[in-house]
Each structure stands twice: as C-alpha cells, then as structure tokens.
Amino acid sequence: MKDRYIDVEDLIAARATPPGISALAIVRVAGPGCVDAVSRAFSRPERLRAAEGRTLVRGALLDIRDGRPVDDLVAAVFRAPESPTGQDQVDFMTHGSPAVVAAVVDALAALGFRKALPGEFSFRAFVAGKADLVESEAIDELSRARTAQAREAALRRLGGGPSAEIARIRTEVHELLAACEVLLDYPEDEVAGNLTSRLPAARGAVEALAKLSAGHAGARLRLEGARVAVAGRTNAGKSSLFNRFLREERSIVSDEHGTTRDWIEASVDLEGIPIVLHDTAGLRSTDDRTEAEGVRRSRLLLESADLILYVVDGTVGLAEEDGEFLAERPDALPVWNKADAPGCGPVPEGFHSVSALDGRGFQDLALAMVARLPGGSGSADGLAGERQAALVEAARASLSDAIAAIGAGEPLDLVSLDLRAASDSLGELTGETASPDVLETIFTRFCVGK
Amino acid sequence: MKDRYIDVEDLIAARATPPGISALAIVRVAGPGCVDAVSRAFSRPERLRAAEGRTLVRGALLDIRDGRPVDDLVAAVFRAPESPTGQDQVDFMTHGSPAVVAAVVDALAALGFRKALPGEFSFRAFVAGKADLVESEAIDELSRARTAQAREAALRRLGGGPSAEIARIRTEVHELLAACEVLLDYPEDEVAGNLTSRLPAARGAVEALAKLSAGHAGARLRLEGARVAVAGRTNAGKSSLFNRFLREERSIVSDEHGTTRDWIEASVDLEGIPIVLHDTAGLRSTDDRTEAEGVRRSRLLLESADLILYVVDGTVGLAEEDGEFLAERPDALPVWNKADAPGCGPVPEGFHSVSALDGRGFQDLALAMVARLPGGSGSADGLAGERQAALVEAARASLSDAIAAIGAGEPLDLVSLDLRAASDSLGELTGETASPDVLETIFTRFCVGK
C-alpha cells in the first residue's frame, strides 16, 4: 500500500451521502481520538466527549476559528472497536444543504481532519478485521446493484457467505501442504498415509473452487448488466418492441430524479439482469446532414452491444437486407414481429415470433435473450469481480495440479510449490496476503466517504 | 389543513438524503409505535423494540413478505417527545445505493408505512411544538442557502432568534389589547392610565416591527440571490470581465459534482450575495442561422436580470450604440474597461473604471453592484420569506393604526379591532393562528423526507 493510505491513525472526514439538496446529509469522521477532537468544536463538548458508543448526541458544530455555529446536527457516536471502521467514529447527520455540508467539512479541516480518500473508511474496516476483501468489495457491489437479485447476492457476499467457503478451502490446502511438508522432512516415516488420506477432501476443494469459478459469469451479469441493441429495417417495429419491453419488464430506477426520458435508451430488469436497451431506430433522421452521423452511431451501438435483437416485420417478410445483416451477424437474435396481424407469414427457422402490439411471445423472447447472454443461465450468487474470479481459477488450477502431481508421484517439493500458489491466490482473494498495490487498486475504486 | 396532512398518527417513511450512489443514505420513519412496527421486520427485533431514545442499533431490515434481508443497516432510534418530529422516529442509515433505498422503502411499505408527503416530518415537528413556522421555514431556507452569510442567518432563524422577538412583540400587543378591553368593560374606572402607560412599549413594538420589515430585503437578497447580466459591444471585454469575477470572487459550490462549466453562466459569492452572472457575449454566434436566436436570448437575459453591467472599452471610447443602450437602460451600471491600457481615455461620469486584466477597480465595482441590488445595503439577518415580510408589515401597520387611534381618542372597540388584526398577523407568522391552507402551502414547498 502506498504511503497515502498507510496512516490509519490520521483523523479523516468526508461526506458519505450524495451531493444535492435534501433533508439530511451525513459527514463521517474516523480515527483514534476523533470524538475528543470534534468535541472541541461542539456546543456541548462534555456531553459529546463522554458519549458512549452507539448513541446519538444533538448539538451545534462550531467553527473553532471564530466560534460561530456551522450547523445544528445529530452526532452518531461509535466507539472502537464496535464501529463500522473499527475505530472511534462519528457520523454527523447534518442539514441536507451543499453549503452546510461544505461548511461542516471545512470546520472539521480546521480541527485537523483531512479529507478521506476514496474507500479509506472501508480500508480501515479491512485493516481492523471487520471485513475481508471479498466482503469489502461487496460493499461497493451493493451500491452498484440495480436489480433485487444483484442486491441480495451482494448482501450475501457482504455477510461473508463466500468468505467462509474460501476460508474452508484454504484450510484444506494448508492441511495438504502440512502433510506434504511433514513427508518432506521425514521421508522415511509412516506419515505418507496422511497425505493420501487428505486427497478426497482436496478433490472436494477443487470441486468447490470450480463451482465458485463457474458461478462468476452469472454473478457478473446480474451485477454489471448487459447492453442490448434493437436493430432492423425501417418500420419493422423496433420502437414498438422497445416500448413493449418498457411495459412488460420492471424498469430500473437508477435515480429517483428520473431515469432517462430519451426513448433511444432505457434500463429494464430482465429476470434480474439489468439491461440497457438501445433503439437504433431513434438515431436515424430525415435530415440529410445528420443521416451519416446516425448511421455511424447505430454501428457503434451494434458493435458495443452484448446482444442484438434483429426485428423483421412478419407481414412484410424477409428482405435481402435482412438476410445480409443476419449472415453478417449470426450472433443476433432474430425476431419475427407483428404475430398479431392476420397477414403475418410463417415464422422462419430460428426466429422468435412476437407481437409488440399485444405482447404475445414476449416472455419466451425474454428467456431466449437471458440464455444468450454470457452467464445468463447462472445465478447471481457467485463472485462478481473479475479479480476474484481470476484468483479462484488460479487457486483451482494450482490445487488441481498439486493433486495430479501427488497421484503421479512427482517430487513433493514441486507439489508443495503448487499448494503454496493455491494458498497465495486464496489469501489474495480475501486480502490476507494481498499486496499494498492490490489493496490500493481495490479501495480507490470506491467513492469518497465509503 | 387539508385531509392528507391531518393524520399525524400515520406511520410514514421517506428517503431523507439525495438520490444517487454513495456510501450511505438515510430513510426516515416516524409515527406513534413506529419502533415496534419496524422491529417486526428487523433481524434483532427485541433489541430494536427495547432500544432507548438516542441510541443506535445495528441489524438487517427484512422483507416481511418473504423474510429475506433487504439491507444491513444502522437504526438511529429517537423516542417521543425527544425526537426531531416529537414522535417515535427511526433514521435508518442504509447503504447508499438507489436499489437498496428503493427496497428499504418498499419493505417499510409492506409494514404499513406510507410514503411521507413533502415537509411532513417538519409538519409533525411543528404540530408537536418543536418549531414554530418561522423556524420551520428556516429549515428549508438553510437547505437553499448558497453563501456563508445566508447559511448563518438561516441557522439563527432556525435557532429561534426572530421567533423570540416576534413572541415578545405579540405579548406587547396582547397587553395593550387587555388594557383596551378592561376599559371597554369598565369605562368609568380609573384604569384608563393602564392604557396610556402601555403606549411607550407599544411604540417600541412598532419600531421593532419596522426594523424586522426593513431587514427583509437584505435577508431575501442573501438567500435568493440575484442575476447579473454582462452586456456591451463586441470586444468591449465582457468575457474578460466575466472571467475576472470568477477569479476574484469565491465561486459557489452548488453541487460537488461540478457547477456549470459553461462560461456563459457562473455563480459567485459577491459579499455574501449569491450572484448568477450571465455573459451575453457567449450567445452570439458567427453562424447566420443562430444569430437571431442569440440576440433573442441576450434580450431575455437582460430583461430578467436584476442588474446589468454595461461594459465599454476605454481605449475605444463611447460609441453611438453605447449611448443608445445606456439611455434606454439608465438602471445599467456602466463600466469603463481596460484601465490598465496606456491608451485608455478619461473615465466618463457615472462609469466605474476597471481593468479586467489586472483587477484594478474591481473591488469598488463589486461594492457598487451590491449597493445597486435591492436590499444590498442590508444584512442577511432579517426574515427572508415574502409571506413573513408581508405579515410583519401588516402587523406593524395595524399596531401603528391602533396607537394613532388611541392618541386621537377614537372609540376603543375600533382600536381593539386593529390590535386583534396585529395579533392575528403575528400569530400567522409563527403559525399559532395560521389556517390549514397556509400550513399546507408552506410545508408542501419542502422536499420529501424533510
């Protein structure tokens, strides 16, 4: 960890709620002795200084430079080690005004509180053993969860479900490693049986790691979501299909101030997967000058999409242009629209028959879309992070190699190296053996105040 | 008050922090028995149910429909009457994710909490006698304060400074009214002296009201701010002057995500007054088609501005166009720019000589601008609201009339009517005699969660 994070003794402060006007905001401070420090600038210093952990103290925060009140607020006092950060900590519940929050942070700076770095509170919780790395990352994942499934899965990761499983597997690796090393030290002894007797449990650990590894794609998809582009010829019914999605699926509230009102893009919850739908139709314009730009943007959308829905008007039938597109993009999901219309032709092979008008075929289309997305058939319950998945896979490969080497009677010092590699991967996963650089990379991804 | 606010016994819930992704959010609930109600869906029901006021309880909120955890959170418990609303109240400090907040509010709805109306928590505090109307309105004013002066003044109003003064004045009116009514009931008695002996104090009350009334414009200006348009011919140095303002004055952080980066508009703190500066220069374009639109928007800006700075290049001198503008808009503040340049001509009468380049004359210009704005010479300390100012002025007029009528020996029943009118105005000001409609109008201006 680079210098800047090293000093967990610093007094730090940061706004922990979003910016903007509201009823309340929270400014969080932490660090050894922080309650005493803020008491110096509090209207009821003795009361705050003497406050027990997990109590609320109402009063005014003052600016020590001139003694003027900055805000009337409520101080939520936490005492080490029973606090979110494991340190003495105060969450000031202030009035929800940007000017008030700025003035509170400024008054705290005058008391010696420096502005907290992104993720610095979480880092302190990690250092204090309040959360391992998988749990710490789940805090960030929880913030980013856009569907109920993603939120519940992040909450389970936060609650330590995968962490306990990983700890169990790592213990298994350590047992096998210990048996190896005893045998290395005392090759003549009758302890060889210890090693082979551990092999079934070690194979179970490989299976558990393979399961964790396989669960990643599903968890990642539920957390990060996917982009789906709706393409097709003019009048194929792209916009109607788009609107039908908005009616049938639960739309995602990314921000209560209003998700996009632009019909070109919308977010929906498709079986627990946060999907951003793009209607490429909206990009065309009758204006000659903007036509080229529209086509360029449509192409970009199609290239960046995780899935393309290609819509054909079933009452018109396949045109040459449709065939060309589908030949060029065999990964697109072809949709035969206007199934409600009397003149709708027979559904070509591989097409999904739907009616954007009355919604028929729509549920089947949604399931087909989910099945096409990487991880779609999985659940939200695995490890969502790329870093985590890579380490699980590395641990699985190393442990698997070690078991194979034992079976093949290879030298135990080589086996031991594989087992150490597996242990290191798992240790990096939970943070026990993660390097400062890795920790910094992880925690600086968090927002300030977290 | 219309039906919807009437039931202060309802269990209500609302997000109290701004929307968006962050470390924490607050969802506030209030109402008699609300702690018991939320305990039904808490992972540690007995602990929460037994929580004393002003304590924090950590646990998981569950969805009672399926028992699944919604979030790990900290419940800040307040007990009636020692709570912000005067009722049992819980501020849930949740993870700061829109999906989490939405799920928490949804889980609370399943427990029978309806979504709080705008200002409903503040209304309950008012009903419980925690704050009078002037103090309640100050909560909203505090949120909207953009400069330190405005924030401190709102904090003083919130702390009850003006409220105490108004209560003192109203008591004075009641004393005078009582003396009048004794004299009406016992006209033969020797109590007439009571009435005249109260007159000096009553005159003092009129003066105090006049002072409150006079303080309004200054307070309003510091809270609401003003719009200043920078106009002038091409190359007069409008943009340089604009940029100099941004360098010299403290720019206002209206939102940490970034105030406008558009150089056409910027917010600065000019001696405690939040000023939105508009550079009309930016609206012109070389494109013929947008020229007309630019001129139209410039005109609108000039019409809606509270003050116009009209910039003339001192090295070029006054042109016919300048004279025409200043004749048409004699309220504009004329600025003689480029005072740094050797070729700058003598400053015409009424012009402020400045250099946008080196900043000379700038401080004088800022003071001249403040002096030109309505209320600019006042302080931030009066009552900022229009409603409040109108009621203070009405009370002053009524009380003044009553004193004049007493002096002129007019019938005491007429004097008594004036005094009652003064009392009613003051009662409406603090909310003691405000009608339900007035209360509704005031509290619905607040945001939800407040």
pLDDT digits (tens, 9 = 90+) for A88-137: 999 999 999 888 999 999 999 999 999 999 999 999 999 999 999 999 99
Are B255 and A24 a contacting pair at CB < 8 A?
Answer: no
CA distance A341 to A360: 12
| A174-195 mean pLDDT | 84
pLDDT at B259: 35
B116 at the A interface (CB within 8 A)?
no
Of A17, A91, A147, which is closest to B25 when you measure between CB atoms? A17
B147, A98: Cβ pair inside 8 Å? no
Question: Which of the four pLDDT bands, split at 50, 70 and 90, describes residue A196?
Answer: confident
Of B102, B152, B254, the CB nearest to A98: B254
Best B22, B74, B104 residue to mutate vs chain A (most A CBs within 10 Å):
B22
Q: Does A23 touch chain B (CB under 8 A)?
A: yes
Q: How far is the C-alpha of B24 from the C-alpha of B45, rounded, in Å?
A: 23
A257 touches chain B (CB under 8 A): yes
Using CB atoms, which residue from A17, A155, A257 is nearest to B96? Answer: A17
Of A18, A102, A121, Cβ closest to residue B19: A18
Mean pLDDT on A436-448: 89
Give the pLDDT of residue A288.
55
Query: Any CB–CB contact under 8 A between B120 and chain A?
Result: no
Interface test with A, best of B24, B52, B142, B267 (most A CBs within 10 A): B24
Evaluate the omega torsion of the peptide bond into residue B81 and state whether it is cis, within 30 degrees of 0.
yes
From B368's Cα to the closest Cα of chain A, the distance in A is: 26
Which of B47, B56, B273, B445 best probes binding to A when mutated, by most A CB atoms within 10 angstroms?
B56
Phi, psi of A153, rounded to the nearest 5 degrees: -65, -40
Name the least confident of A104-108, B30-34, B142-146, B353-357. Answer: B142-146
Rounded mean pLDDT of A202-222?
A: 96
Identify all chain A residues contacting B152, using CB atoms and an 8 Å cutoff: 68-69
pLDDT single digits (tens) B240-268: 888 888 877 766 654 433 333 334 778 89
Q: Does B72 contact chain A (CB < 8 Å)?
A: yes
Domains annotated for chain B, with CATH where assigned, are 3-131 (3.30.1360.120), 141-215+382-431 (1.20.120.430), 230-359 (3.40.50.300)
Q: Are A386 and A392 in contact (CB under 8 A)?
A: no
- DSSP track, B346-384: PPPTTPEE--TTT-TTHHHHHHHHHHHSTTTTS-S-S--
Residues in chain B within 8 Å Cβ distance of A17:
17-18, 22-26, 96
Size of interface A-B (CB pairs under 8 A): 192
> Helices B161-185 and B148-158 sit at what angle, rounded to 10 degrees?
40
Q: Closest partner residue to A97 among B71, B103, B143, by Cβ?
A: B143
Task: Tell whether A50 lies on the interface with B, counting CB pairs under 8 A.
Answer: no
Residue B62 φ/ψ region, left for φ over 0, alpha for ψ in the -120 to 50 degree band, beta for the rest: beta
Of B24, B98, B139, the CB nearest to A17: B24
Among A226, A254, A215, which residue's Cα sits nearest to residue A380?
A: A215
Dump strand ranges (E) for A158-315.
Answer: 226-232, 250-251, 265-270, 273-279, 307-313
Q: Cβ contact (<8 Å) for B22 and A143?
A: yes
- The predicted complex's ipTM stands at 0.85
Residues of B with CB below 8 A from A99's CB?
A: 145-148, 150-151, 253
> What DSSP state is assigned to residue B283?
G
Query: DSSP per residue over A397-427, as a string?
Result: HHHHHHHHHHHTT--HHHHHHHHHHHHHHHH
Is pLDDT of B238 > 90?
no
Distance from CA of A151 to the nearest CA of B (A): 7
pLDDT digits (tens, 9 = 90+) for A33-82: 999 999 999 999 999 999 999 999 999 999 999 999 999 999 999 999 99
Residue B92 CB neighbours (<10 A): 23
Residue B74 at interface with chain A, using a CB cutoff of 8 Å: yes
Pairing of strands A265-270, A273-279: antiparallel
Q: Considering only the beta carbons, identify the residue of B17, B19, B84 that sits closest to A25.
A: B17
Chain A interface test: which of B93, B135, B149 (most A C-beta within 10 Å): B93
- Let me know: does B104 contact B61? Beta carbons within 8 Å: yes
Among B308, B135, B173, smallest CA distance to B228 is for B308
SS3 B191: coil
Contact status of B24 with chain A (Cβ, < 8 Å): yes
Residue range B351-364: mean pLDDT, rounded? 94
User: CB atoms < 10 A from the CB of B346, how many?
Assistant: 10
Q: How far is CA A134 from the centre of its chain?
A: 11
User: Hey, are the CB atoms on A158 and B72 less than 8 Å from each other?
Assistant: yes
Assess A368–B contact: CB distance below 8 Å, yes or no: no
pLDDT digit string, tens, across residues B127-177: 999 999 999 999 999 988 888 899 999 999 999 999 999 999 999 999 999
* Residue A71 sits at the chain B interface (C-beta within 8 Å): yes
**Predicted pLDDT at A168:** 97
Q: What percent of chain A has pLDDT over 90?
A: 73
Task: Confirm if A382 and A218 have CB atoms less than 8 A apart.
Answer: yes
Residue A340 DSSP label: T
